[in-house]
Amino acid sequence: MFAALTVARGLLSLVLIVVLGFFLFRVLPGDPVRAMTRDRPGDPASLARLRAEFGLDRPLWEQFVDHIRDLLRGDLGTSYQFKQPVTELVLGRLGPTVLLTGSALVLAVAIGLWAGSRAAWRHGSAFDRLATSTALVLWSMPTFWLGLIVLLVFAVGLDLFPTAGMTSPGGTGGDLAGVLDVAHHLVLPCLTLVAVVYAQYLMVMRSSLLEEMSADYLTTARAKGLRDDVVRRRHAIPNALLPTITIIFLNVGMVVAGAVTVETVFSWPGLGLLTYQALAVPDLPLLQGTLITLSAAVVIMNAVADLLYRLVDPRVRTA
């Protein structure tokens, strides 16, 4: 029953996103037709033909009905500027985004959980103060601003990493040299995302472990003669991980959505850069397609977090 309600809430959220996104993008400033013909301005008749081709000359409610009908058939429309199906464009850019956000998420979780548990267990120590203050500073930074600083220092100033893209010009394919080339390009955008995201895991893990440290079962474990390290690893941390697991899955979708600014700064060819390119026109079908894709990631991960939390914490199932 709970799973059915979770799925129903997720579907309702997606429906609302589709409806609101359609009308929201229609009030964006700018004319797609004039934006695409800026370098070769045509006569009014040519502009009218383009509007008719894109369906922009029709009443808004007719455009909306067509949009919903196409979505039900799995058709996201055709991009104005790329002249390709939006589904193909989104699928083509999905891999780089998954690579970037997946790598960043794994590193952020590992660093955040380790630093958070260590800071809580040594509450009040120099490590605790340094870790929490650093995390809060990085967490408060705008992602695009931090990305620009990282780019200027490590790519432009020190010339240690590429400034843009996912591969070098004339790069080799899928052999070892090609993999290393992609990894070299991945370092700066990945570390930028990690620096912003890991702080939340650190703070949640630290707070959860501090609450567990005063529990009676830990006192009992110490009274049995267990080493402090064993008490922390086998008893305190597993229980403190419960709220953190929820945050991890909730953040998967948010990290994907937050990659828009990072991909734009580093010209990483993923969904984020594609969204930025669509906004510049505005390319309405492409904007709607990327919005649905990114929103679906957030909604699905929220549902997984709800279901998983009930599995790992029996107290929720019996409540």
Give the DSSP per-residue string, 217-243.
Answer: HHHHHHHTT--HHHHIIIIIHHHHHHH
Shared-domain flag, residues 219 and 291 = yes
Asked if residue 82 belongs to a domain, the reply is: no
**């998420």: which residue's tokens?**
105
pLDDT digits (tens, 9 = 90+) for 80-104: 888 899 999 999 998 898 899 889 9
Domain shared by 195 and 223, yes or no: yes
Please count the structural domains in the chain: 2
In a shared domain, residues 146 and 280: yes
**3 CB-contact burial (10 Å; exposed 0-12 / middle 13-18 / buried 19+):** exposed
Using the predicted structure, report yes or no on whether residue 318 has a pLDDT greater than 70.
no
Average pLDDT rounded to a whole number, residues 301-313: 73
Segments forming the whole domain that contains residue 122: 88-318
Residue 85: asked if its preceding bond is cis (omega within 30°), the reply is no
On whether both 107 and 255 belong to a single domain, the answer is yes
Question: Pick from 57, 76, 51: which is nearest to 296 by CA?
Answer: 76
Give the tens place of pLDDT for each residue, 195-219. Answer: 988 888 898 888 888 887 777 777 7
What's the rounded Cα separation, in Å, for the pair 89 and 84?
A: 7
- How far is Cα 99 from Cα 6, in angstroms, rounded to an integer? 28
Give 175 or 87, the one with higher predicted confidence.
87
Judge whether 80 lies within some domain: no
Judgement on whether residues 178 and 311 belong to the same structural domain of the protein: yes
Mean pLDDT of the chain: 82
CA R_g for the chain = 24
308 domain-assigned: yes
Q: Are residues 58 and 103 in the same domain?
A: no
Quickly state the pLDDT bin for 55 (edges 50, 70, 90).
confident
- Residue 126 makes CB contacts below 8 A (sequence gap 6+) with none
